[in-house]
Structure 1
Amino acid sequence: MMLLTLWLCLGLVCYVYIGYPILITVFASLRRRRINTAPIRPSVSLIVCAYNEEDIIGKKIGNCLRLNYPKNLLEIIVVNDGSTDKTATIINEYANQPGVNIIQSSTRQGKATAMNRAAALAMGEILVFSDARAIYHAESLDMLVRNMNDPEVGCVNGNRTLQKNKSPIFNSENSYWSYEAYIKTKETQCRSTISVSGAMLALRASLFEPIPIDMILDDAFLAMQALRKGFRVVYEPAALCFQNSAMSTRDEILRRQRIAAGRFQLVANAKKLWPWKDKLAIFQLVSHKIMRLFLPFFSAGVFVSSAVLMLYPNTPVIVAILFWAQLAFGLLAVIGWVSEKIGWKLGVLGIWYYIASGNFASLSGLIRYSKGRQTVLWEKARRME
């Protein structure tokens, strides 16, 4: 029984990290779906929601105004969600700027509410939702909307790129996003990706429905909308936006536990939220996102079963190797944690600590969601400047 548990849990861990990327690569090579792109220029409403972003919001609005897109076709909507710093004052400085619409809220209501308010006023054929800290390349909007020439495409996700900085977790976080970008590219080649980032997300305005105010992952909800209505959700690597990495693993854990809680919310509401008619999308969703939530349990299963088997006489060599490899992994993660605490450069140790912290964030996200402690009011991770 213990041996069966070991191989089952180990197989699930390997499938999540390695097996699914290989499988989706094979699928993409066998049934590649192309996108009928063309250099079109529909009207665009670029929506930026901000809470206490005094240090960046002026730069963000300036970046929006400098985008290489016809001014008469670009509407910039900035929503202040009850900021308590100087965000409201800075935003108001752009109130008379042509093409800029300002929405001020004296109370904090959450990102979903802010996005709904902006979408209700938006005039563009395409809604582009952006984080306040995401700085766009000048050609990004063109790269995004060219995909909308294909009538099957309803939602487009841009390429969230990290700017190199002195963050101790830059290399680990950058490796993770490169890994994610590869998977999203292959999913798109199959038909659709089910992984999107709110840093740069374009949606046909005709597909938008108000986001439930208790929805934790607003970006995932928008992608699900498009999939449920039979449209493709695609990843556009040429649409670049730049962000700095988190200042520490602790800051990254805050972001990832919120995402984990949001995914558990998606699981709890699967019947009404998941695109059940799209069997491939369901397979991708479960393989790419949902199974990751249970990695702490799969990993625990591997460790406990291998530890128990080590007590048996004539323990198979492969079991012993797995047991000691897990102890080594744990030791490397602890060393990575200590190294970050005392200010050493993590190097390769950061990868093991980053993986371990991701599993911790999944477990923490489950606890927060099950206890109703995960609010829709987003907690910003501190980022390097």
Structure 2
Amino acid sequence: MMLITFWLCLALICYVYLGYPILITTLGWLRQRHVRAGSIYPEVSLIVCAYNEADVIGRKIENCLSLQYPADLLEVIVVNDGSTDGTQEVLKQYADRPGVKILDSPFRQGKAAAMNRAAAVAKGEVFVFSDARAIYRVDSLKKLVRNLRDPEVGCVNGNRTLYKNKSPIFGSERSYWSYEAYIKTMETQCGSTVSVSGAMIAIRASLFEPIPANLILDDTYLALQTLRKGFRVVYEPAAICFQSSASSTRDEALRRQRITAGRFQMLFNARELWPWNDKFAIFELLSHKIMRLFLPFFSAGLFVSSAALVLSPDTPEMALLVFEGQLIFGILALGGWISEKFGWNLGFLGISYYIASGNLASLSGFIRYSKGRHTVLWEKARRAE
């Protein structure tokens, strides 16, 4: 029994981290489903939802207005979701600014409610949703919407790039986002990606449906609804927005906990939310998103089974190698934790610590969801300067 558990857990972990990227790369080369992009200028509503963003919201609005896009075809809508830090006072300075519409809510209702409120008054043919702390490169908007020239494309996700900063996890987080960007590129070549980031996501206004008030992952909902309606969701690496990395591994873990709770919510509501009409997208969802939820359990199963096999009379050589590898990985992760505590440069230790903390955050997110402690009110991670 332990031998079966060992090989099963090892195979599942290898598939999630390496097997799926290799498989989706191969399929991407074989399928080569290109996007028929071209220069177009639809009317765009750029929607920014803000909660306690007084320190950045002015810069964000100025960034939106400076984009290389016809001013008469761009409206900027900012929703203040019950901020208490002075965001409202900053927004008052832009109340009469041409091209800017301010929607103020005295009570915090969550990002989904803010997005729905903005969409209800938006005039654009295309809605672009953005985070307040995501600064767009000046050409990013036109490169984002050019993909919508293809009538099969309904939703486009941009490239979330990190500013270089002094955060101890900058290198690890950058590596993770590069890994994700590669997978999204290959998934797009296969037809559609199932991984999107709310920092820059465009959707045809005709496809937008109000986001359920209790839903945690609003960006994923937009992508899944697009797929359910038979349209493609694609990744545009040339549409770049910049954000700072989290200040610490703990701050990043808070974000991962919320995402994990949201994915479990999506999983347990799969019948209503998943694009069952697109079998390949279902395969991508399972491989790219859902199996990651269970990595903490696969890892625990691998450790227990390999330890048991090591203690058995006839230890398989592979079990011994894997057990030793897990011990080394654990020591490296511990070293990363200690290094961050003392403010030392994490170096290669950071990768191990980042992976380990990500799995622990996933486990915490599962517990959080199972106990009903998840919330639609987003928790901001502190960002490095």
Whole-angstrom CA distance in 2 between matches of 1:215 and 1:240: 27
Whole-angstrom CA distance in 2 between matches of 1:144 and 1:311: 56
Q: Deviations over 1:102-121 (max 9, x none)?
A: 00000000000000000000
Tell me the equivalent position of 1:321: 321
Paired AA for residue 189 in structure 1: Q
Matched ranges for 1:137-156 at <5 A: 137-156=137-156
Shifted more, 12-21 versus 307-316: the winner is 307-316
Tell me the equivalent position of 2:51: 51
- In the alignment, structure 1 residue 123 sits paired with structure 2 residue 123: yes
* Secondary structure of the structure 2 residue equivalent to 1:347: coil
Tell me the equivalent position of 1:2: 2
Paired AA for residue 214 in structure 1: N
Whole-angstrom CA distance in 2 between matches of 1:67 and 1:317: 59
Paired AA for residue 246 in structure 1: A
Whole-angstrom CA distance in 2 between matches of 1:31 and 1:188: 10
Whole-angstrom CA distance in 2 between matches of 1:95 and 1:365: 39
Tell me the equivalent position of 1:194: 194
Tell me the equivalent position of 1:39: 39
Matched ranges for 1:13-28 at <5 A: 13-28=13-28
* Secondary structure of the structure 2 residue equivalent to 1:382: coil
Percent identity of paired positions between Structure 1 and Structure 2: 72
Q: Deviations over 1:219-254 (max 9, x none)?
A: 000001100000000000000000000000000000
State the Cα distance separating 1:292 from its structure 2 match.
0.2
State the Cα distance separating 1:302 from its structure 2 match.
0.6
Tell me the equivalent position of 1:286: 286
Tell me the equivalent position of 2:381: 381
State the Cα distance separating 1:54 from its structure 2 match.
0.8
* Secondary structure of the structure 2 residue equivalent to 1:40: coil
* Secondary structure of the structure 2 residue equivalent to 1:202: strand
Paired AA for residue 359 in structure 2: N
Paired AA for residue 102 in structure 1: I
Whole-angstrom CA distance in 2 between matches of 1:314 and 1:364: 36
Q: Deviations over 1:13-68 (max 9, x none)?
A: 00000000000001011111011111000000000000000111011001001011
Q: Deviations over 1:70-101 (max 9, x none)?
A: 00000000000000011001011001000100
Tell me the equivalent position of 1:262: 262
Paired AA for residue 112 in structure 2: A
Whole-angstrom CA distance in 1 between matches of 2:9 and 2:117: 45
* Secondary structure of the structure 2 residue equivalent to 1:215: coil
Q: Which runs of 5+ in 1 are unaligned?
A: none
Matched ranges for 1:67-146 at <5 A: 67-146=67-146
Whole-angstrom CA distance in 1 between matches of 2:309 and 2:147: 53
Q: Which runs of 5+ in 2 are unaligned?
A: none
Paired AA for residue 232 in structure 2: R
Tell me the equivalent position of 1:333: 333
Shifted more, 227-236 versus 308-317: the winner is 308-317
Whole-angstrom CA distance in 2 between matches of 1:74 and 1:312: 68
- In the alignment, structure 1 residue 157 sits paired with structure 2 residue 136: no
Whole-angstrom CA distance in 2 between matches of 1:286 and 1:318: 28
Tell me the equivalent position of 2:175: 175
- In the alignment, structure 1 residue 29 sits paired with structure 2 residue 49: no
Query: What's the TM-score once normalised by structure 1's chain length?
Result: 0.99
CA RMSD of aligned residues (A): 0.5
> Aligned residue pairs: how many?
385
Tell me the equivalent position of 1:275: 275
Matched ranges for 1:291-310 at <5 A: 291-310=291-310
State the Cα distance separating 1:335 from its structure 2 match.
1.1
Whole-angstrom CA distance in 2 between matches of 1:201 and 1:252: 21
State the Cα distance separating 1:314 from its structure 2 match.
2.5
* Secondary structure of the structure 2 residue equivalent to 1:79: strand
Q: Deviations over 1:172-220 (max 9, x none)?
A: 0000000000000000000000000000000000000000011000000
Matched ranges for 1:183-262 at <5 A: 183-262=183-262
* Secondary structure of the structure 2 residue equivalent to 1:21: helix
State the Cα distance separating 1:321 from its structure 2 match.
1.1
* Secondary structure of the structure 2 residue equivalent to 1:28: helix
Whole-angstrom CA distance in 2 between matches of 1:288 and 1:198: 17
Paired AA for residue 250 in structure 1: R
Whole-angstrom CA distance in 1 between matches of 2:140 and 2:30: 30
